[in-house]
A and B are shown apart, each in its own frame.
Chain A
Amino acid sequence: QVTLKESGPGILQPSHTLSLTCSFSGFSLSTYGMGVSWIRQPSGKGLEWLASIWWNGNTYNNPSLKSRLTVSKDTSNNQAFLKVTSVDTADTATYYCAHTGLTGFDYWGQGVMVTVSS
């Protein structure tokens, strides 16, 4: 059974760095074909893919966020991480992590709300 759970600061100030953790079970990020993706959703709005990291360490970021995104993983502890630098109010959203494989974003976490406010 695949499960994922996001954790983060809840609220942070503009210009700071957002650090999120995705803790998962039921798969390994060292297994061929496995990946974890990050997607966000501002309240009442649509979904935006942010980044993905794969079993082999390859990463893909959404270029709309330029170089503000960093994804990484800790295979031993079944965790993936997302960092977003220089946040502003437009980064206020619910952030999801999702298991990613040959069949899309097939399992999602419950999401973590992040508010950027001074």
Chain B
Amino acid sequence: ETVMTQSPTSMSTSIGERVTLNCKASQSVGINVDWYQQTPGQSPKLLIYGASNRHTGVPDRFTGSGFGRDFTLTISNMEAEDLAVYYCLQYGSIPPWTFGGGTKLELK
């Protein structure tokens, strides 16, 4: 099973700040990584698929990058609506597909 480790587990941010979230796979998963956003009381929403492709309607302040074992989600200009928990997911060729433990973004 491929373990996805997200860092940090929580982060205090300010509106307008640039935020970088990390996800590290225990083995290479190519570009088979998605990023999901979950706000309180809501279902997760797909932000990024295939490591770097924005899902329909996702603002361009969200950017995904990475290949192999190391992946990054960057929010270029933090907005209040971005306060949420972010999860990475790997979907390599062989299940199980596994989520990271999540990174919670909070206001300073």
Contacts and interface: CB of A to CB of B under 8 A. Distances in A.
A105 B36 contact: yes
Given A96-B43, A109-B43, A104 B34 contact: yes
Interface residues of B, number: 22
A49 B97 contact: yes
Interface in B26-70: 34, 36, 43-46, 49-50, 53, 55
**Chain B at the A interface: SS class:** loop
A26 interface: no
Interface stretch (A16-24, A57-65, A77-85): A57-65
Contacts of B89: 47, 49, 104-105
A103 interface: yes
Contacts of A60: 95
Among A39, A62, A104, A107, find the residue whose CB has the most chain B CB atoms closer than 10 A: A104
Contact of B49 (A62, A63, A104, A111): A104
A105 B43 CA distance: 11
B46 A46 contact: no
A49 B98 contact: yes
A9 to B, nearest CB: 20
B43 A46 contact: no
A47 B87 contact: yes
A: interface residue count bin: 20 to 34
A108 B55 CA distance: 13
Contacts of B55: 103-104, 106
A46 B49 contact: no
A108 B45 contact: yes
A1 to B, nearest CB: 12
A23 B23 CA distance: 33
Contact of B95 (A48, A62, A106, A109): A62
